[in-house]
Amino acid sequence: MPASPLTVRPFERRDVTEVLRLMRGLAVFEGYIEKFSVTETDLINHGLGEAPRFGVLVADLDGRVVGIAVHYVIPWTYDLKPTLVLKELFVDETARSSGAGAALVAALKRHAEKIGAPRINWTVLATNEAAKRFYRREGGNHDAIWEPWTMPVG
């Protein structure tokens, strides 16, 4: 029997429930599920509305959404070119090693090229060594110059 077809495409209204399930799965894995407040309505209004604030690529395996790459664009920075920011990359545990993660990264690279972005930026949970190995295999590099910071407001 041939391998199951894996496709990557932008998310649609029919994918919202599964996208939210995977986003929650990442929140559990990374330890912030108690603060997670995204709803299906949020995904529809902010990701599928007239002026989307973010995009989601979904990895579809046999008609089932098994992975997501949530992304947004910083319109320009120091070089007057956009930066594609990968906010979340997550593949369901049942589909790991299916090629879904690599397919999502390849689709992100194509999207970056299409919008003229010379780079994709993201953060990795410091303790997630498996993710770091994956990103290195995909051509990513740790940024030794910049480090992430955060500042609570209010």
CA distance 131 to 123: 10
Does residue 82 contact residue 116 with C-beta atoms inside 8 Å?
yes
User: What is the structure's pLDDT at 148?
Assistant: 87
In single-letter form, the type of residue at position 43 comes to L
pLDDT averaged over every residue in the chain = 95
CB < 8 Å & 24+ apart, contacts of 69-77: 69/104, 69/105, 69/107, 69/108, 70/23, 71/108, 71/111, 73/115, 73/117
The reported pTM is 0.93
Residue 1 banded pLDDT, cuts 50, 70, 90: very low
What angle separates helix 40-47 from helix 16-30, to the nearest 10 degrees?
Answer: 110
* 78 has a pLDDT exceeding 60: yes
At 132, the pLDDT band (50, 70, 90 cuts) reads: very high
Domains of the chain: 6-137 (3.40.630.30)
H-state helical runs in 3-145: 16-30, 40-47, 100-115, 129-137
